[in-house]
Chain A
Amino acid sequence: MTAIRIENLTRTFGAVRAVDDISLDIRHGELFTLLGPSGCGKTTLLRMIAGFVDVESGSICFDGRRIDALPAHRRDTGMVFQNYAIFPNHTVAENVAYGLKARKIPAAEIVSRVDKALERVRLAGYGPRSPHQLSGGQLQRVAIARALVIEPAVLLFDEPLSNLDAQLRTEMRVEVRQLQQALGLTAIYVTHDQEEALAISDRIAVLRHGTIEQVDTPERIYRMPQTAFVAEFLGSTNMVPGIAGAFDGHNTPVAAAGTEFTVRGEVAAPGTPVLLSVRPEALQLRDGSGGSLVHARLALREFLGPVQRLHATLPDGTPIRISALGGQALDLLPGAPLTLAYDPAQITAYPAP
């Protein structure tokens, strides 16, 4: 178990600030995810921790010990690469034993630890095989076993599941999470897949242009995004520009898209332009009245099985997406009027950019 402290870490490539003055505290035994679009600096940050990218300024400490000046091979991290990086000239067992041999572990102990590691990733008996005889998912497990077997201070995952198909990806992320929890290892996980990040993490840092937008638990990141970027990046939310009205001590009305939304709390001074984040699942189809309502007109219905995605337009023509259950509104045709109810607490307002 290792706690990681990152302070004022910076790295530039030419004119691009890939990692821009980032500070983070990662706790013992935590699975910490770096989430963001490509080019946000998440992989650079991970590779700085692994020692493949030089630190320009700032520091990285494992349990209070500075490691950012150590060469990569002496940092005691176990990294799982995006393309697995299984040595093609070694067998599965030799791949897993590689780090143990580098650590001069006695041969007998290597054999037993390799066997145990392969068992743990459900590849018992695959040791003598060549990597090219294995499927993508199996190679992925070898890569995980190879990183686990050295009992590293920190596990590093660089988009480990992005080369797998959708089904295997959801299976493997459960396995990764269970292994990490069972072994109690501190892990840093890089991904651009928000669903994967929400599913697997203890905490998530959302990165953008080399800086941190928000660090929080998956639930809070999703429910209470602190910036418009986080709200938009996590889940496909509707961003509706509007003008704040007068706060009534409880809610604030916001004039937007030819109608009015009610937002919990004091949003901004009356007359200030704001940006509303309305999650598709926060809007519910309703027949009657009561509560906060908006009216829209159906444009297109996508039936996805358990759920449906409705594409509608607000009174001034602003497009909006609504999630509905699979069985609802099956008889609605394009052009039909919709009445949508919502909880004012589930709508967040941001200052307009």
Chain B
Amino acid sequence: MKRFATIVTLAALVLLAVFLLYPLALVLDASFRIDGTGGLTLGNYAAIVKSRYYLGSIGNSLLCAALATVFACAIGIPLAFCLARIDIPGRALLLTLASLPLVLPSFVSAYALVLLFGHAGVVTTALRGIGIPIGSIYGLPGIVIVFTLTLYPYVVMPVLAGFQAVDASMEEAARNLGGSRPYVIRTVLLPIVMPAILAGGLLVFIEALENFGVPAVLAEDRPFLAVDIFKLFAGESDANPAAAGALSVLLIACTAIALLVQRHYLGKRRFSTNARSAPAKLPLTPGLRLTATIVSWGIVIASLLPFAAVLMISLLRFRGPVLTWEFGLGNYATLLSGSYRPLLNTLTLASIAAVATMLIGAPIGYVVARHRSRLSGLLDFVGMVPFAVSGTILAIGLIIAFNSGPLILTGGWLILVIAYVVRKLPFAIRSSSAIVHQLDPSLEEASINLGVSPSKTFATLTVPLMASGLVGGLVLVWITAASELSATIVLYASGWVTTTVVMYHAIEGTGAGLAAAAAAVLILVTAIPLLLINRRINKQESTVI
């Protein structure tokens, strides 16, 4: 048993050292070098501090992430409370729909905003036609709106779990001792869910800070950290890899600080989740219940509307950038007339990456959950590092690392798969260790006691027991890999253009129709497996319980 754990741990650490830590070290190294000559310097950082543009870029990114966090909490906490404590019609469906924005590509949502409210947007044009001018959604407002609407489920899910984890007796005890309902909410409920709120809020903050696609679509010429790093590294006119490295280090520092703050806070506070009886639904007047229903459904529908709009618009005909009200499949014809390769690439790369991620992540998750040692603790930590590193930065590191030297990977498909695997690994590790935590260790002991060796027990008992969870993880990795943009846009080579790359270039250029069709394809590619797996998971749950 111990040997099995040690082998897995060492192999995983080697893999992460080569494909994660080494590239990141090179990015850090580049940030201290003079571009071209390679001498050591602090000049890159000095240049950033002196430049109004880059300070603005950092400021914009932080402000945007902070606002998105506040707004996501502002809509996420009430929604979680309604889902937990109010008898809302269609609650199960609402819950499923509320988790969708997390896996649908956020830059598609951003592009929907452009199609609706942009310079030549449907709504903008219509309103201008009847003489009502609307403000620009480019820059801060649009980006904050998109982040809020796509990231709020990060707040809803843990907070909902928190509300449900409060045993009914706690609230009853507080009320029995004479607390009014608002007083009980303030003194019992909120303190218990506070760690969940902070955990969710920080996820929103980090995701918003790192995100490349949304500002790439909506920032226009305003400075944003994630976009500027990409432009500095891959831009045609003003490339400056050293400055890109310095900005990358600053971005990683921001996310790392946020993560450390979260860990520090959560380390001290834990609420027990072994609620025996979930608290009863609140008795509400019909009016209040209707309000809660409208607000809850309203939030979820608003967050999904952009995706629906993209699907609709993709079926309309474009004349140049201008939309007409004629139906047609012309956009799809344009998308596919060039070649099926991008779509095929997307499906192939996502499949390889998903399988590889789970094959690597599941044993790591098992070892991290079952065999606590200093080495597995290190693995647990390093395995979470990709979470603090944006796709763009990882991709830049991979290019610096494997562009020359003994192992040349740039220009092929493998480097894309490696980027996807490394980025999605924290998710695979977390989900499989969560499954293992739910498995009683005495099941494995019983099997060993009855004469089956530890490695065979893992293969024939533990893996089948984990299977349903692993399939769920596999599909989620597949979906997020298929809609990955930030690393892909840095790493893709001519033969390995993906649908996200097609869409990005179409938005950059004038191919509005093409972009809409590509966006619609991405929505379908991600939504269909999700709906399939959702039915499967529901069925499993009903049979297991």
List the interface of chain A (C-beta within 8 A of B).
50-52, 71-79, 81-83, 85, 87-89, 98-99, 102-103, 132, 146, 150, 156
Contacts and interface: CB of A to CB of B under 8 A. Distances in A.
A103 B446 CA distance: 14
A78 B445 CA distance: 11
A87 B457 CA distance: 12
25 contacts: A51-B448, A51-B449, A52-B445, A52-B448, A71-B448, A72-B449, A73-B448, A73-B452, A73-B453, A73-B457, A74-B451, A77-B449, A78-B450, A83-B440, A85-B446, A87-B443, A87-B461, A88-B544, A89-B465, A98-B447, A98-B450, A99-B451, A102-B450, A102-B452, A146-B450
Given A85-B440, A88-B465, A89-B464, A79 B446 contact: yes
Contact of A85 (B442, B454, B457): B442
Contacts, number: 66
B443 to A, nearest CB: 5
B465 to A, nearest CB: 6
B451 A102 contact: yes
B442 A82 contact: yes
Contact of B443 (A85, A146, A156): A85
Nearest to B452: A102
B299 to A, nearest CB: 37
Contact of A150 (B445, B451, B464): B451
Interface residues of B, number: 18
Contacts of B452: 73, 98, 102
Contacts of A132: 544
**Interface SS of chain B:** helix
Interface string B489-527: 000000000000000000000000000000000000000
A85 B451 contact: no
A83 B442 contact: yes
A7 to B, nearest CB: 23
Contacts of B446: 79, 81, 85, 87, 146
Nearest to A77: B449
A79 B445 contact: yes
Interface of B: 440, 442-443, 445-454, 457, 461, 464-465, 544
A210 B450 CA distance: 27
B445 A103 contact: no
Given A79-B446, A83-B440, A73 B454 contact: yes
Contact of A73 (B440, B449, B465): B449
A87 B449 CA distance: 13
Contacts of B453: 71, 73
Contacts of A79: 445-446, 449
Contacts of A71: 448, 453-454
Q: Which 5 A-B pairs have the closest CB atoms?
A: A99-B450, A102-B451, A85-B446, A85-B442, A79-B449
A74 B446 CA distance: 13
A81 B465 CA distance: 19
B278 to A, nearest CB: 21
A81 B448 CA distance: 13
Contacts of B440: 83, 85
B445 A73 contact: no
A71 B451 CA distance: 10
